[in-house]
Chain A
Amino acid sequence: LVLTKASTVTTDPKEQELLRGLALSSRPAIETIYKDNYTMVQSFILNNSGSTDDAKDVFQEAMVVLYEKVKSGSFELNCLIKTYIYSVCRRLWLKRLHQLQRITPEIQNTEEVMAVEEELEMHEQRNNDFLLMEKAMQNLGEPCKSLLEAYYLDKKSMVEIARSFGYTNADNAKNQKYKCLMRLKKLFFDQYKNNSV
């Protein structure tokens, strides 16, 4: 594995701004990072027995890794965004190739590479949590799923929810929400605890 020790902390104000924008889910920031790095990742994947769809998947996963990193308040990349994304993509792709049992004796590196093992371990953990919640939501069924999504994810008020879901008043909706929540929590924590043990 090629490693270059953290040599440059991203002090570049432009990059710092992009990362801050990303943490706030700002559209222009995401777009800029996307535009600046996608082609590089695409040619890397294509040159290492992948397709354009593979490139898209891998790149977007790397974007999620970066997003969740800055979301957790860490803006110190210790390298350029480009290097970070490339390294993460490289690692993700190697892993996928390994899973597919496709033998690629030599990965062609076109960019600087940094160590991202720790990052990806954390990412793995977050992935598990995400999948747990996704599965719990799936098993919950309708209308509970939509109801909870409207309240917790879309941050809608009980009055709004009562109107759009056809409950007579906000209290009714609140009761319904409570029942759904209890079921979801049970579904989630049953697996969560199993997983943690």
Chain B
Amino acid sequence: MQEVNMIDAIERYMRGEMLPEERVFFEHLRKSNPQVDQMVVEHTIFLNQMNKFGERKNFKSELLHIHNQLFEKGEIKEPSQTKVVALWRKYKRVIAVAACIAGITALGISGLIAYFSPKANVSEIALLKTEIKKVKGSLIDQAAAINNFKSSSTPPSSQGKFGGTGFLIDGNGYIATSAHVVSKADSVYVENIKGEYFKTSTIYTNDTTDVAIIKIIDSHFVYRILPYNIRKSSTELGEEIFTLGFPRSEIVYGKGYLSAHTGYNGDTTSYQIAISANPGNSGGPIFNPSGEVIGILSGKQTTAEGVVFSSKSMNIYKALEDIRRDTSLDVSIRLPASSSVKGLERVDQVRKIEDCIFIVKSY
């Protein structure tokens, strides 16, 4: 209890609230009693700390208050541009990482989309004509070629734009091939395995069935009897087939089987066949083992391996019917009646057939 009064006295002494007599008495007490003096010193230190604590606390809250007020009044403001710059500086590494992740994700997603989305129909089928090097004819080349055509049947000086295969369907020089080989051509030449060139004229093309009929118009072509015939009815699944074509300048033999009665996306005018086919095989005949033509090779699916399509041989009959009905055409085509290579060894069949197969070159 005495100490309570002592503290009170010390505080009043420090604040200078003591009366003069009391003050003198207190100072005397301090001097004579070291314990009291010690208490005074300690309490002074403490109150001093307390004061400073209070002052700083008040000042700090005052500052916060002033800050908010100045900010509201717009006397200090956050520069927006600098803020962005500061944020950029602070987070540029984070942003870089985020950008990388975003990039990878975007690539991944577009990859997935590309993988899963249905392909465009046209691009899926590669038409097997060879796009021969880059001639894209200069005017001079074309002019020279035209002159050559007129004067003689010597081969054109430049190479053709497209190449395919064709085969005789009538000994008088009628050749069947794929429509897409000749449809965009200004002129079409054919070449046999002996290297003889013949000029032709296109008399019929059908893009739906991908069949074209062209006729050799050079006079030096000699009539010949065909060793094969064209099959009118359809062919059984799994039947062995072979083809002869010109994927390169040499004639190439290929063997396979009939895989399906319909072609790409259920196309009933064509078969699906399994055979090795390359650009240049387009328009080539598809034979069954008896030496009957059952189709004309037309294209392959680029998204699947070993899926090749062939226009059905019935389409040739249909073409002839169309030609007959067209009164503007004075053409009569007689298809071979029977196959003479039936029952022969394959080697012999090929030897007899091969000179009825032609390289078709479109210009």
- Could you list which residues of chain A lie within 8 angstroms of chain B, going by C-beta atoms? 25, 27, 30-31, 34-35, 38-39, 42-43, 46-47, 49-52, 56, 60, 63-64, 67-68, 71, 126, 129-130, 132-134, 137, 149, 152-153, 174-175, 178, 181, 185, 188-189, 192
B83 touches A (CB below 8 Å): yes
Main secondary structure of the interface of B (DSSP, over half): helix
B143 touches A (CB below 8 Å): no
Among the listed B47, B49, B59, B67, which residue makes an inter-chain contact with A64, where contact means beta carbons less than 8 Å apart?
A: B59
- Beta-carbon nearest neighbor of A149 in chain B: B54
- Beta-carbon nearest neighbor of B59 in chain A: A67
Q: A38-B76, A43-B79, A60-B67 are in contact. Are A153 and B54 (CB under 8 A)?
A: yes
Contacting A at CB under 8 A, from B19-42, are 42
Write out the residue numbers on chain B whose beta carbons fall within 8 Å of the beta carbon of A71.
Answer: 55
Scoring B residues 84 to 95 as 1 if CB is less than 8 Å from chain A, else 0, what string do you get? 011001100000
Do the beta carbons of A52 and B83 come within 8 Å of each other? yes
A60 to chain B, nearest CB (A): 5
B126 to chain A, nearest CB (A): 59
- Beta-carbon nearest neighbor of A181 in chain B: B7
Bound CA–CA A42/B67 (angstroms):
13
Among the listed A31, A47, A51, A130, which residue makes an inter-chain contact with B56, where contact means beta carbons less than 8 Å apart?
A: A130
Bound CA–CA A55/B54 (angstroms):
24
Q: A67-B59, A153-B57 are in contact. Are A174 and B52 (CB under 8 A)?
A: no
- Interface size, B (range): 35 or more
- Could you list which residues of chain B lie within 8 angstroms of chain A, going by C-beta atoms? 3-4, 7-8, 42, 46-47, 49-60, 62-64, 66-67, 70, 75-79, 82-83, 85-86, 89-90
Do the beta carbons of A46 and B66 come within 8 Å of each other? no
Do the beta carbons of A31 and B66 come within 8 Å of each other? yes
Write out the residue numbers on chain B whose beta carbons fall within 8 Å of the beta carbon of A185.
Answer: 42, 46
Bound CA–CA A71/B83 (angstroms):
35
Bound CA–CA A35/B76 (angstroms):
7
Write out the residue numbers on chain B whose beta carbons fall within 8 Å of the beta carbon of A174.
Answer: 4, 8
B63 to chain A, nearest CB (A): 5
Do the beta carbons of A49 and B59 come within 8 Å of each other? no
Bound CA–CA A152/B236 (angstroms):
111
**A49, A63, A134: most-surrounded residue (chain B CB, <10 A):** A63
Q: A25-B58, A152-B54 are in contact. Are A175 and B4 (CB under 8 A)?
A: yes
Bound CA–CA A153/B51 (angstroms):
7
Do the beta carbons of A68 and B56 come within 8 Å of each other? yes
B83 to chain A, nearest CB (A): 7
Known A-B contacts: A30-B62, A46-B79, A47-B82. Give 8 more (CB < 8 A): A30-B63, A34-B70, A47-B85, A52-B83, A63-B63, A132-B49, A153-B58, A178-B3
